[in-house]
Amino acid sequence: MTRPKRLVATVAHRAAILCYVVFALFPLFWLLKVSVTPNDLLYSEGVRLWPSRTVFDHFDFVLRHSDFPLFFRNSMIVSLSTAFIVTILASLGGYAMSRFTFRGKFWIVGLMLLTQMFPLVMLIAPIFKILSPLGLTNSLSGLILVYVAFNVPFATFLMQSFFDGIPKDLEEAAMIDGATRFMAFRQIILPLTLPGMAATLGFVFTAAWSELLFALMLISGVDASTFPVGLLSFVSKFSVDFGQMMAAGVLALIPACLFFFFIQRYLVQGLTAGAVKG
Amino acid sequence: MASIDITDVRKAYGAVKILHGVDLTIQDGEFVVLVGPSGCGKSTLLRMIAGLEDISAGEIKIGGKRVNELDPKDRDIAMVFQSYALYPHMTVAGNMSYSLRLRKTAKEKIAKAISGAAEKLSLTPLMERRPKALSGGQRQRVAMGRAIVRKPKAFLFDEPLSNLDARLREHMRGEIKKLHQDLGATSIYVTHDQIEAMTLADRIVAMNAGIVQQVGSPLDLYDRPANLFVAGFMGSPAMNMFEGVYRVANGGSVELAQGIVVPLAGPASTADGTKVTLGIRPEHVVVGKDLAGGLAAEIDLVEPTGFGTILHSRAFGRDVKAFSLERGLAERGDTVSVSFPVERIHLFDTASGSRIG
Ligand SMILES: Nc1ncnc2c1ncn2[C@@H]1O[C@H](COP(=O)(O)OP(=O)(O)O)[C@@H](O)[C@H]1O
Ligand SMILES: [Mg+2]
């Protein structure tokens, strides 16, 4: 290509990326904007990009006068537990799927795929029926159990693909060097799969953090509500308190952002693993 | 160090048979090369010795002790992989010391062992690097270093040089041979490269399709190949092979295409009229003008290698290759005379492939 042509191509490329980023981030920006807009300006100023006056009243209310801190704590407990339990189970399962042939493997994989095929709505009633006599409705443990069950299959496939990307030679070399298979797994394979585990952890955490359907159906009391359910409490019969709802939304973004900030180093490696050999 | 005894070892994946009964004894300190085309089961046999594959039938002994049921870690062998299999998250020193750390060797002893190995392999300035920051040849040396730091009963090599460029491969080949002369360790080396096999081995084991074809010294295999497979596999350019019929008349001869008769050194142990294959290595084919008993041949390709010249010619309706150290022997389109010295002729039974003279 000639120089000017290449320049045009570069500019077009960057412009396309910019368009995408603006499109993807605009709702977040709007969330932030509404959360700092005073109630009296919310409708009067209409679609201005930034309100003429900003206030933090909504945050103050949400943090001090609502049940939001409780919801937040519940969500943290549920999401972190789910993410860690699922990642551990999926790592072990994914390793087995990647490295061993065993009787019934075909059927287990088939069954795991099958669980991913049904719309969750269909399963709510039976799950409620199963959990209720066990005393697991209206409890965080019940929610964790359900989230783990629904996230393990996909996470296992995800982890399997990460293990598939690590040559078998490595653990064979370790076993010849004197390690048991489990030691080879722990000392050689796991450190190399950290990016993959971070990706899985992040994926499951976000899924659990923003899950609404089960949280809504399995939990009725305020004590065990997670924050997506809590967000709905800002919608009353007669009005929607947009300012407070958006403030709660902004607060809810913080842990997800922090979480991704801590794992992003591994995440980028994880998402590009396999793209580069060596 | 130890000897390795392999008795009627077989391998099958389900119904697919890969190894059909291998018998082999490797002496203490011997360097044995398993050679054969890709897919013939060399790696499978090596991995069974290492304990990475189950043994379907038969027995493997290391140092006189049956190891069929032992895990790789309990067999006390070291292995160099084709991919090198270096641990990416450990430094060169970490890679080399891993096996010793697993054995809870004392720190000073480890330091001594790895610095000794590093010295031998000129790795000393690279000890703190990660494998990613090493060249192919350096990685290869680290893989060797990892094998030699502990004194294992035997070394196994699975095509350790095939990822290197030609020059480096030649260099490392020499290094491996020197290392073996130094350490005197029992070694089994797998390769599909017959030059590597010839240059490195005390003894070569030629394999094809899961069956051992011949075991012997490199020159044994080269000078007296036991069958058509070995004859065709060893040597480059490859041996000329011509199908014909054995004739008892005149003290033994072979009748080739177009009624050409080639005399043999003596009678062969087979009946008149048997289908046979006559083999002669290109470097043994004599090329000249009007040779006594020579066959007319037309040169259709001349390949100078610098070291010598490969002449491709056409005689009695067959392709005949000749290799000569002389240059300018003939040009494309020339008609020359080729002859097969009787003492250089190999004779095989075509049906069974076995050598008969
Ligand atoms: N796990 C396996 N399952 C089925 N067939 C296999 C397996 N591993 C190797 N084979 C087959 O065994 C044969 C020998 O393989 P290998 O020992 O790797 O050959 P090579 O002589 O090239 O090292 C090949 O045909 C290969 O396809
Ligand atoms: Mg192989």
B117 C-beta closer than 6 A to ligand 1: no
- B194: buried, middle or exposed (CB in 10 Å: 19+, 13-18, 0-12)? buried
**What pLDDT shows up at residue B159?**
94
Adjacency order of strands within the sheet including B261-263: B261-263, B253-255, B240-247, B275-280, B346-349
Average pLDDT over residues A18-30: 93
Q: Does A16 share its domain with A69?
A: no
Radius of gyration for the alpha carbons in chain A, expressed in angstroms and rounded: 23
Q: Which of B11, B13, B38 to mutate to test the pocket of ligand 1 (most atoms within 8 A of CB)?
A: B13
Distance CA B209, CA B213 (A): 9
A175 CB neighbours in chain B (<8 A) are: 51-52, 71-73
Distance CA B148, CA B100 (A): 11
B78 CB neighbours in chain A (<8 A) are: 176-177
A192 CB neighbours in chain B (<8 A) are: 88-89
Q: Counting atoms of ligand 1 from 1, which one is nearest the CA of B45?
A: 17
Asked which of A15, A38, A55 is the last residue of a domain, the reply is A55
Q: Between chains, do B87 and A188 touch, taking CB under 8 Å as contact?
A: yes
Q: Does A91 share its domain with A182?
A: yes
Other C-beta atoms within 10 Å of A66: how many? 17
A188 CB neighbours in chain B (<8 A) are: 87
**What pLDDT shows up at residue A1?**
58
CB B154 within 8 A of CB B189: no
Please tell me the distance in Å from B304's CA to the nearest CA on chain A: 39
Closest listed residue to residue A124, CA positions, set A216, A32, A48, A34 = A216
- A208: buried, middle or exposed (CB in 10 Å: 19+, 13-18, 0-12)? buried
Which of A99, A166, A169, A177 should we substitute to test contact with B (largest number of B Cβ atoms within 10 Å)? A177
Distance CA B155, CA B50 (A): 10
What does residue B48 show for φ and ψ, rounded to 5 degrees? -70, -35
Instruction: State the CATH number of the domain containing residue A148.
Output: 1.10.3720.10
Cα separations in angstroms, B209 against B6, B39, B212, B351? 18, 7, 8, 17
pLDDT < 70: residue spans in chain B: none
Considering only CB atoms, which residues of chain B are within 8 Å of chain A? 50-52, 71-73, 77-79, 81, 83, 85, 87-89, 98-99, 102-103, 132, 146
B136-139 long-range contacts, CB within 8 A, separation 24+: B136/B163, B136/B164, B136/B165, B136/B168, B137/B164, B137/B168, B137/B171, B137/B172, B139/B84, B139/B86
A108 Cα: distance to centroid of ligand 2 (angstroms): 32
B213 Cα: distance to centroid of ligand 2 (angstroms): 17
Q: Does A85 share its domain with A155?
A: yes
**What pLDDT shows up at residue A237?**
62
Q: Does A100 share its domain with A179?
A: yes
Closest partner residue to B88 (CB to CB) among A178, A183, A192 is A192
Please tell me the distance in Å from A177's CA to the nearest CA on chain B: 5
| Cβ neighbours of residue B183 closer than 8 Å, sequence gap 6 or more | B148
Q: Does A105 share its domain with A220?
A: yes
Q: Which residue has the higher pLDDT, A277 or B164?
A: B164
**Residue % of chain A over a pLDDT of 90:** 39
Distance CA A62, CA A68 (A): 6
B226-239 pLDDT per residue, tens:
999 999 999 989 99
What residue has token string 């292995």? Answer: B79
Residue A171 is inside which H or E element, if any? helix A168-177
B19 Cα: distance to centroid of ligand 1 (angstroms): 10
Closest partner residue to A169 (CB to CB) among B71, B85, B89 is B85
Q: Which residue has the higher pLDDT, B201 or A123?
A: B201
Distance CA B189, CA B80 (A): 9
Residue of A nearest to B51 (CA): A176
Quick check: A244 pLDDT over 90? no
Distance CA A182, CA A188 (A): 10
Q: Does A178 share its domain with A258?
A: yes
Cα separations in angstroms, B261 against B253, B313, B316, B345? 7, 18, 11, 13
A189-238 pLDDT per residue, tens:
999 988 889 889 988 998 898 888 888 888 888 788 888 888 887 776 66
**What pLDDT shows up at residue A260?**
78
At residue B298, the 3 state secondary structure works out as strand
Question: Amino acid identity of B219?
Answer: L
Residue A178 falls in which region: left (phi positive, over 0), alpha (psi -120 to 50) or beta: left
Q: Does A199 share its domain with A254?
A: yes
Average pLDDT over residues A43-61: 82
Show the domain range for A7.
3-55
The size of the A-B interface in CB pairs under 8 A is 53
A178 CB neighbours in chain B (<8 A) are: 73, 99, 102-103
**What pLDDT shows up at residue A276?**
38
Quick check: A159 pLDDT over 60? yes
Could you give the ipTM of this predicted complex?
0.86
Ligand with minimal distance to B40 CA: 1
Residue of A nearest to B131 (CA): A278
Q: Does A167 share its domain with A242?
A: yes
Closest partner residue to B83 (CB to CB) among A169, A176, A178 is A169
**What pLDDT shows up at residue A116?**
83
Question: Angle CA(B157)–CA(B158)–CA(B161) in degrees, nearest 5?
Answer: 85
A176 CB neighbours in chain B (<8 A) are: 50-52, 72-73, 77-79
- A275: buried, middle or exposed (CB in 10 Å: 19+, 13-18, 0-12)? exposed
**What pLDDT shows up at residue A277?**
39
CB B229 within 8 A of CB B246: no
**What pLDDT shows up at residue A275?**
39
- A130: buried, middle or exposed (CB in 10 Å: 19+, 13-18, 0-12)? middle
Q: Does A234 share its domain with A167?
A: yes
Q: Does A50 share its domain with A113?
A: no
Nearest CA to ligand 1 atom 14: B41
Query: Structurally, how many domains does chain A consist of?
Result: 2
Closest partner residue to A176 (CB to CB) among B79, B89, B132 is B79
Nearest CA to ligand 1 atom 17: B41
Q: Does A22 share its domain with A107?
A: no
Residue of B nearest to A172 (CA): B52
Closest listed residue to residue B236, CA positions, set B196, B189, B185 = B196
**What pLDDT shows up at residue A34?**
87
Quick check: A121 pLDDT over 60? yes
Q: Does A125 share its domain with A104?
A: yes
**What pLDDT shows up at residue B29?**
93
Cα separations in angstroms, A176 against A154, B62, B174? 33, 15, 25
**What pLDDT shows up at residue B202?**
95
**DSSP single-letter state for residue B150:** S
Distance CA B262, CA B240 (A): 14
Asked which of A34, A55, A76 is the last residue of a domain, the reply is A55
Asked which of A36, A55, A74 is the last residue of a domain, the reply is A55
- Helix-helix angle A190-209:A242-272, to 10 degrees: 160
DSSP for A52-112, written as a single string: SS---HHHHHHHHHSSHHHHHHHHHHHHHHHHHHHHHHHHHHHHHHHH---TTHHHHHHHH
Nearest CA to ligand 1 atom 1: B13
CB B60 within 8 A of CB B48: yes
Q: Counting atoms of ligand 1 from 1, which one is nearest the CA of B36?
A: 21
